[in-house]
Chains A and B, each alone.
Chain A
């Protein structure tokens, strides 16, 4: 049994490794037909969907959709690392020099359990709840019970937008539960009669109840007319007026086909 020689085995293993490495390096020479979109993780799933459909229409074109957050996407455009930056927040200061195109509107819905008798909430009350000043449903005239406030993790686009639109530079209470996706927040609210949270409007379903803010419900029409207060714009940011591939892709997104696709995924189109 001892005379079995392990050397060939080792040689084969090394060869295998080399082949794998060379395969991994083999890509990357299709740069000329590559479009890179980086930025907001709220926009990412929609951008991916759009890219998937567009790539089917234009064979040979490769669209790279990356996350990283709105700020990272805008920075990537400034530095030329991506042709298009996806942003779910407005541009500030220096960033305003960039070219922006609104691709869709999104509302942030404040959700509660369907059995909750509350239908409407004021922006101020909402701020007090998330800042941790109101801790009990009794303060809203309901049966006294501790409130279970649910927020998103630090850095999430939805949370950043919520902070900008609702919190008025105040911090979200550290006692709020933190979940790492819209779906997880919805799941908890759907099963806990005392929970309150916020998710993207496109993801509200019959398991939860969306509240009206200052009397305005988060419906497509209200968001489009900018009556609903928790509305944000999804932007495609480019260095200058878009040209070439970026321009073609933007045109596709804003075309009726692209907009219908976005509405089907739950966003509100710009037209």
Chain B
């Protein structure tokens, strides 16, 4: 009986390792494919060069790194206030019956395919920006607004969990001292749930920076460094997805190298989230 038990344990371990193994394989693969071109171009030229013309031998991705950062920050500016307001209402103020309906509804947002967000962006948002604010409509602003909505479910559900983890005893104490419910939330619950909320925001950032399809559809994908929120931008993910279909040789390697940069950025974000969540 013991041997069979051991056998099952080993089999499960093997399966678990294969999941991690695929991560290792992906990592090794993109580094093998992408590193040579980074070293050949020079790390600083690759990262701080603003001229991207891969079929003519120019590999600089600064414009795309900046665009990715701007778009992500924009998404946070639109998404975080909405998400926090939503989380506070659902965790602290709304009656349980309402929460029971609203929370799954918000989580449904996460299940909508990104191409649908992109399509809505192109059909509804882009013409509005074009006619009321000017420019081609396909812009940093459009991408940031769409991503702001896309990160809502991530940020809301993790923030709610963080607030629910604050012991009810604290709240009762605060109310007993004469604080109003809003004062309790602002002075007690939010600070106590801070690390969880920051983790939620960082994971939302990861979601925004990694999004591809919706961004390709609404951002316009121009190669220059944006100077206004109405300028068209190309993010790192969009660059890979747009050009991989045709790329060969050094061009292909340069796209994998773009992937390495993206990989490192997302690793940093995720480690930061893990660190903050673990600290408490």
A177 near B248 (CB under 8 angstroms)? no
Is there a chain A Cβ closer than 8 Å to B245's Cβ?
yes
Least CB separation from B244: chain A residue:
A155
Is there a chain B Cβ closer than 8 Å to A7's Cβ?
yes
B221 near A69 (CB under 8 angstroms)? no
Q: Which of A164-178 contact B (CB under 8 A)?
A: 171, 173-178
Least CB separation from A72: chain B residue:
B248
Is there a chain B Cβ closer than 8 Å to A179's Cβ?
yes
Least CB separation from A69: chain B residue:
B246
Is there a chain A Cβ closer than 8 Å to B222's Cβ?
yes
What chain B residues lie within 8 Å of A180 (beta carbons)? 216, 221, 242, 245
Is there a chain A Cβ closer than 8 Å to B107's Cβ?
no
Please give the distance in Å from A190's CB to the nearest CB on chain B.
Answer: 12
Interface size bucket, A side?
A: 20 to 34
What chain B residues lie within 8 Å of A175 (beta carbons)? 222-224, 231-232
Q: Tell me which of A20-28, A54-62, A146-154, A238-246 binds B.
A: A146-154
Q: Mask for B247-278, Cβ within 8 A of A = 1, else 0? A: 11001000000000000000000000000000
Is there a chain B Cβ closer than 8 Å to A114's Cβ?
no
What chain A residues lie within 8 Å of B148 (beta carbons)? none
Please give the distance in Å from A253's CB to the nearest CB on chain B.
Answer: 24
- Selected contact of B247 from candidates A7, A155, A174, CB within 8 Å: A155
Is there a chain A Cβ closer than 8 Å to B138's Cβ?
yes
A148 to B231, CA, bound (A): 11
- Selected contact of B221 from candidates A71, A148, A178, A191, CB within 8 Å: A178
Is there a chain B Cβ closer than 8 Å to A52's Cβ?
no
CB contact under 8 A between A174 and B63, given known A7-B7, A192-B130? yes
Is there a chain A Cβ closer than 8 Å to B53's Cβ?
yes
What chain A residues lie within 8 Å of B134 (beta carbons)? 146
A175 to B50, CA, bound (A): 12
B53 near A177 (CB under 8 angstroms)? no
- Selected contact of B220 from candidates A7, A72, A178, CB within 8 Å: A178
Is there a chain B Cβ closer than 8 Å to A266's Cβ?
no
CB contact under 8 A between A171 and B246, given known A6-B8, A177-B138, A192-B130? no
A192 near B246 (CB under 8 angstroms)? no
A123 to B63, CA, bound (A): 30
What chain B residues lie within 8 Å of A157 (beta carbons)? 246
What chain A residues lie within 8 Å of B53 (beta carbons)? 154, 171
What chain A residues lie within 8 Å of B242 (beta carbons)? 153, 178, 180
CB contact under 8 A between A10 and B135, given known A175-B222, A178-B222? no
Is there a chain A Cβ closer than 8 Å to B40's Cβ?
no
What chain B residues lie within 8 Å of A10 (beta carbons)? 8, 11
Least CB separation from B223: chain A residue:
A174
- Selected contact of B136 from candidates A67, A153, A156, A177, CB within 8 Å: A177
Is there a chain B Cβ closer than 8 Å to A188's Cβ?
yes
Is there a chain B Cβ closer than 8 Å to A68's Cβ?
yes
Least CB separation from A11: chain B residue:
B11
What chain A residues lie within 8 Å of B210 (beta carbons)? none
A191 to B52, CA, bound (A): 29
CB contact under 8 A between A69 and B223, given known A154-B55, A177-B136, A180-B216? no
Is there a chain B Cβ closer than 8 Å to A41's Cβ?
yes
Is there a chain A Cβ closer than 8 Å to B137's Cβ?
yes
What chain B residues lie within 8 Å of A67 (beta carbons)? 245-246
What chain B residues lie within 8 Å of A7 (beta carbons)? 4, 7-8
Is there a chain A Cβ closer than 8 Å to B54's Cβ?
yes
- Selected contact of B248 from candidates A5, A71, A176, A188, CB within 8 Å: A71
Least CB separation from B217: chain A residue:
A184
A228 to B138, CA, bound (A): 32
Further contacts, 8 of them, CB under 8 A, given A177-B220, A191-B127? A68-B246, A69-B248, A146-B135, A156-B246, A175-B223, A175-B232, A180-B242, A188-B138
Question: CB within 8 Å of B: which residues of A?
Answer: 5-7, 10, 41, 67-69, 71-72, 146, 148, 153-157, 171, 173-180, 188, 191-192, 194-195
Question: CB within 8 Å of A: which residues of B?
Answer: 4, 7-8, 11, 51-56, 63, 127, 130, 134-138, 216, 220-224, 231-232, 234, 242-243, 245-248, 251
Closest 3 CB pairs of A and B: A155-B246, A174-B223, A178-B221
Q: Could you list 16 A-B pairs, sorted by A, with CB under 8 Å?
A: A69-B246, A154-B54, A155-B54, A155-B55, A155-B247, A156-B246, A157-B246, A173-B224, A174-B52, A174-B63, A174-B222, A176-B223, A178-B221, A178-B242, A180-B216, A192-B136
